[in-house]
Structure 1
Amino acid sequence: MLKNIFQKLENPKRPLLGPNVKALQFWGLLLPKNVLKKYFYILMHILVTIFTATEYIDVWFVKSDMSLLLNNLKITMLATMSVIKVTTFLCWQKYWISIIEYVTKADLNQRMTSDKKKLELLSRFTKYCRKITYLYWSLMYTTVIIVMVQPIFKYVSSETYRLNVKNGTDTYLQVVSSWVPWDKNNVVGYLAASVYQSYAAIYGGGWITSFDTNSMVIMVFFRAELELLRIDSTNIFGSESKQDEHDIAMKRLKDCHRRHVELVKFARLFDSCLSPIMLLYMFVCSVMLCVTAYQITIETNPMQRFLTTEYLVFGVAQLFIYCWHSNDVLFASDNLMRGPYESIWWTKSVKYRKDLYLLVAQFNKTVVFSAGPFTMLTVATFINILKGAYSYYTLLSQSQMK
């Protein structure tokens, strides 16, 4: 059954980005040309954006309760990130479409080769992209389901909580803490609020999964293209036993130069679309990790602690995957210069070597992604964020002990 579902997500015209583009279309990040469908998705986006605003309003009403405030804070910040991702994606849609089309075109061109080594590399990276896409979707919706069933689980598992709710000394646990213009403490009002909150959680989860997995797969593509360029630049002049003719060698050299120029151009465009989001993402994740870690230490219910831990794992995974793949691109970019030097350049005349030097100068341009103008997205940056989150956690813990 799962195999059939995964097969339907594939698109022969987009062998690398097939499931990711379909997810973007399904959740309305890539707006359809049909006017009715387009405005339907815009309405859905507006409703979730309004819901995120009500989460901020609710902060005022729960500010006296530290537990409720922290719970509201971690989910509100994640929802804010979702809204910002979608808003920027819609505003910069033409740039995102051009990036997606470039990735698709370049990927298809490489798949036309008969080189077994390159085909094997493409197959390996495609399988890897499917794994991170489907695993990320699974992790996200596990988190969404946990958020949605948490109130039901607490009501069923805790007799004390049920009695407190019935006698009015405690309130219903919300799916997502948010303000509504009606009383949430009666059954009808609570159910109505829960439906709206569940809709926002599901749709927000769709936003996050479609945006993040698309961005991650594009990062993987840049790494794959850099590795393919290294292979091609190694074979510019053929092998030592079978050297290729002048015209063929020059054609390969020019093709490698053109492809790298194009890659750098679209990598910078991709970074300009992603960088502002990642800057805010780093701050949000630091606070979210700090808050979630603190909740785990003060939570006494084992199941609640497990659910909060799962949320923490999701928060760490989100940022780590971005930093890991950007780090891979950086290393592939640094290693690309070795390609021309691994060719049989020493058998060629000075004229060829000059042309090869121009290619090396082009390859010397570093491809890496950033979080604003302050830092690069690397594993080292991720570790620094964890250190910062731990510092905030320590400060919060000490302030509560006083």
Structure 2
Amino acid sequence: MFGLLNKLENPKKPLLGPNVKALKFWGLLLPKNVFMKYFYLLMHVLVIIFTATEYVDVWFVKDDLNLLLNNLKITMLATMSVIKVVTFLYWQEHWKNIIDYVTRADLAQRVTVDAHKNELISRFTSYCRKITYFYWSLMYTTVLIVMFQPIFKYFLSPSYRENVKLGNETYLQVVSSWFPLDKNTIPGYLAASVYQSFAAIYGGGWITSFDSNAMVIMVFFRAELELLKIDCVNIFGSYESQVSDEVALMRLKECFRRHVELVKFGRLFDSCLSPIMLLYMFVCSVMLCVTAYQITSETSAMQRFLTTEYLVFGVAQLFIYCWHSNDVLFASLQLSQGPYESLWWCRHVSQRKNIFLLTGQFSKTVVFSAGPFTKLTVATFISILKGAYSYYTLLSKSQIKE
């Protein structure tokens, strides 16, 4: 396992190595080879067509609430995957510029001899690997559960198995979708299951590669802000070994340049991610509501467990985004403390004015948003949970009245 993970590393991209390889493997970063490029585009089109068939199936299951809810939670997640991929391909050059900036800035900081900065870089790199592999594991655990759920239910539920044999129930699908063949026959059901499993695996690859890449980039912005703060503290050197005015001015200019570049690419990253996160918030609210309702209404213990795992994935998916965005916001707000922790007080008045100008630049915070309406923070995540719980309560009460 460790040998396999080591193959994902890239010395030229020490922070984003596994994430960039995942983006290339699943076709989000299109290769230069023409054949492979069109092969990936064909795969994308097939999964997009499959997502459209999920919406078609809504018409056929609209009379059964459980089937309808099951369709909605999968379909909305699939829709988010499609939107992520389409926007990533449309803004391919923007994403490449962001990845190049992250790699360039990260490599520039790794040549430092400062022990504190090296320890910080090592800690954040390790954290990026953990969050990436954890998210991949969580996603593919969910995909496997979705794929094998029909088999689990068939062999672990005697009543369901008997009802299927008698024709009182239909076969449980991997993913609720329309299929041109009759899914109530063995050949039609197997053919539909193969197509649905392919879409589930490939869609899972889309989600893991896009989300883990975005999350690691968020971690980078936080790390860069903390490293920049350390450099601001050291603009004039230490009290025992102060640097000359020329060296101090050079360091101050470098801090200023880095922050300008950081703000620029932070806004570019937010412009690519913000529209997706706005829709993501709505989709997660509905998905969490539907999944919570299914857990309370389901009678099978195994089915409850499988649905609970899906709920955990939905909550974790949104929480990780909000948590890391919240970290970036607070690191950006604390950045202005760096210059004031330097030896500005024992320097010439002209250098004090330069420090004042630098703190003015630092007033431009790096913050990520969900559309034009709200910042992506932990407080926003809590609000989404409250909204999902309100929808769940409304849905539960409406079913009791009926």
Give the TM-score band, short-chain normalised: over 0.9
CA distance in 2: counterparts of 1:194 and 1:277, whole angstroms: 29
Tell me which residue corresponds to 2:302. 303
CA distance in 1: counterparts of 2:215 and 2:338, whole angstroms: 25
Matched, 1:191 2:195: no
Tell me which residue corresponds to 1:144. 143
Tell me which residue corresponds to 2:400. 401
Tell me which residue corresponds to 1:118. 117
Q: How does 1:38-117 map to 2 (within 5 A)?
A: 38-117=37-116
CA distance in 1: counterparts of 2:193 and 2:306, whole angstroms: 19
Tell me which residue corresponds to 1:379. 378
CA distance in 2: counterparts of 1:309 and 1:256, whole angstroms: 47
SS in 1 for 2:182: coil
Cα drift, residue 49 of structure 1 = 0.2
SS in 2 for 1:55: helix
CA distance in 1: counterparts of 2:234 and 2:162, whole angstroms: 75
Cα drift, residue 154 of structure 1 = 0.6
Cα drift, residue 105 of structure 1 = 0.2
Tell me which residue corresponds to 2:248. 249
CA distance in 2: counterparts of 1:13 and 1:254, whole angstroms: 27
CA distance in 2: counterparts of 1:240 and 1:160, whole angstroms: 78
Tell me which residue corresponds to 1:328. 327
Tell me which residue corresponds to 1:388. 387
Identity of aligned residues (%): 77
Say which is worse superposed, 251-260 or 165-174, in terms of deviation: 165-174
CA distance in 1: counterparts of 2:32 and 2:128, whole angstroms: 28
* Counterpart code for 1:67: N
* Counterpart code for 2:206: W
Cα drift, residue 197 of structure 1 = 0.1
Cα drift, residue 240 of structure 1 = 1.1
CA distance in 1: counterparts of 2:312 and 2:228, whole angstroms: 36
Note the alpha carbon deviations across 1:316-362, whole angstroms, 9 max, x for none.
00000000000000000000000000000011111001111111000
* Counterpart code for 1:268: R
Matched, 1:271 2:308: no
Which structure 1 residue ranges, 5 or more long, are not aligned? none
- Counting matched residue pairs gives 401
Tell me which residue corresponds to 1:227. 226
SS in 2 for 1:237: coil
CA distance in 2: counterparts of 1:279 and 1:323, whole angstroms: 12
Tell me which residue corresponds to 1:284. 283
SS in 2 for 1:199: helix
* TM-score when normalising by structure 1: 0.99
* Counterpart code for 2:143: V
Matched, 1:260 2:254: no
CA distance in 2: counterparts of 1:159 and 1:356, whole angstroms: 74
Tell me which residue corresponds to 1:212. 211
* Counterpart code for 1:178: S
Cα drift, residue 168 of structure 1 = 1.1
* Counterpart code for 1:326: S
Tell me which residue corresponds to 2:316. 317
* Counterpart code for 2:96: I
CA distance in 2: counterparts of 1:346 and 1:71, whole angstroms: 64
Tell me which residue corresponds to 1:173. 172
Matched, 1:337 2:328: no
SS in 1 for 2:7: helix
RMSD (Å) for aligned C-alpha atoms: 0.4
Cα drift, residue 29 of structure 1 = 0.1
SS in 1 for 2:230: helix
Tell me which residue corresponds to 1:131. 130
SS in 1 for 2:330: helix
Note the alpha carbon deviations across 1:162-203, whole angstroms, 9 max, x for none.
121112111000000000111000000000000000000000
Q: How does 1:22-33 map to 2 (within 5 A)?
A: 22-33=21-32
CA distance in 1: counterparts of 2:64 and 2:277, whole angstroms: 31
Note the alpha carbon deviations across 1:14-46, whole angstroms, 9 max, x for none.
000000000000000000000000000000000
CA distance in 1: counterparts of 2:162 and 2:340, whole angstroms: 75
CA distance in 1: counterparts of 2:157 and 2:224, whole angstroms: 54
CA distance in 2: counterparts of 1:27 and 1:312, whole angstroms: 25
* TM-score when normalising by structure 2: 0.99
CA distance in 2: counterparts of 1:149 and 1:285, whole angstroms: 23
Cα drift, residue 370 of structure 1 = 0.1
Structure 1 runs, 4 residues or longer, greater than 6 Å off: none
Tell me which residue corresponds to 2:365. 366
Note the alpha carbon deviations across 1:226-279, whole angstroms, 9 max, x for none.
000000000000011111011111110000000000000000000000000000
Which structure 2 residue ranges, 5 or more long, are not aligned? none
